[in-house]
Amino acid sequence: MFGWCGTVLDVDLTRQTFKKSPLSPDLARDFLGGRGLNSKRLFDSVGPDIDPLGPENLLCFAPGILTATPLGLSSRLHVSTLSPYSGILGDEMSAALSQLS
């Protein structure tokens, strides 16, 4: 009934493992939406000496804050990583336009 809401999935492609853990309600409240959660995760996990194209870099996916609400055309997906172009946070946001058809 509640799907994956409140769940964090860590996938390690190098070791071919995954770990499912609960998302802290305090963390979700303090860092709103996908951009906030991804930025916090990258800040805590990726240091300045990490190679953006190396296996230590993270690729974070998170839904936007209004996803799964009754508001039409409000679904978002945030994808964040350490950018190889700039060496800082690289962030992309996609709108789900499937509701138009």
Is 14 inside a domain boundary? no
**What's the mean pLDDT in 44-55?**
87
- Residue with more model confidence, 82 or 71: 82
Note the pTM of the prediction, 2 decimals: 0.75
Kindly tell me if the per-residue pLDDT of 27 is higher than 80: yes
| Strand bridging mode 59-63 / 76-82 | antiparallel
Is 4 inside a domain boundary? no
Domain with 87, as residue range(s), is: 31-100
Number of domains in the chain: 1
Is 42 inside a domain boundary? yes
Is 58 inside a domain boundary? yes
Kindly tell me if the per-residue pLDDT of 78 is higher than 80: yes
* C-alpha span between 48 and 89 (Å, rounded): 11
Kindly tell me if the per-residue pLDDT of 2 is higher than 70: no
* C-alpha span between 100 and 91 (Å, rounded): 25
The owner of tokens 């172009």 is 85
